[in-house]
Structure 1
Amino acid sequence: MISAASSISSMIERPVAVSSTPTAAVKSVAGATAAGVSQVSFVDTMAQVASSAIDTLKTGEASSIAGIQGKASVQQVAEAVMAAEQTLQTAIAIRDKVVAAYQEIARMAI
């Protein structure tokens, strides 16, 4: 499970060209600069989501091992594994959407 989330995390960390573009200000539809709005890049957000997903998967694995060793209750193991499964399904869905968007862009006429 962790290898799938790690590959998504490595895909997110690669786009240097996107993260190096300057983001000075947010502009509204009229073209005015919005003051007081903090700017968060898409790459940073996705990296944070991937990191959180990896942590959830690691927690699920650790809980499973603790359950096998008799250190965790069945309920704790079930909850951690279900959370890890949901996180993995979400990561796969995001990956599928990214691949579909890339394929759509690749099909566009120049």
Structure 2
Amino acid sequence: MLWCSGGCLVDVVPLMLHPVPPFIVAAEASGVASCLRLLVPATILLFCCLDTWTALRSSIIVLDTVESLFIPFALSSIAYCLLVIFRMLLGMVFHARMIDVADFNQNS
């Protein structure tokens, strides 16, 4: 217990470290760690704040559902980014050809 400046008692519980789930390790290794910033606090809340098995089980089911939805979402996001890059490259090639045609017509 600590006494804070406002005149209240604060119970300090040390944070217990738990093993990192494998999907977080894999996601960090693949470079999508920024997408998991919301899942890590949920995992910490799951392990540190819940003390009944029923709540723990339902939270595990929710996290498992989020994990199973995360992989298709990440793959679709990567596919969309690649599609946008491909369209930009096509646009650049098209405009470069238009400039070449305009220069050729001007020099003729």
Give the TM-score, by structure 2 length: 0.39
Which structure: larger Rg?
2
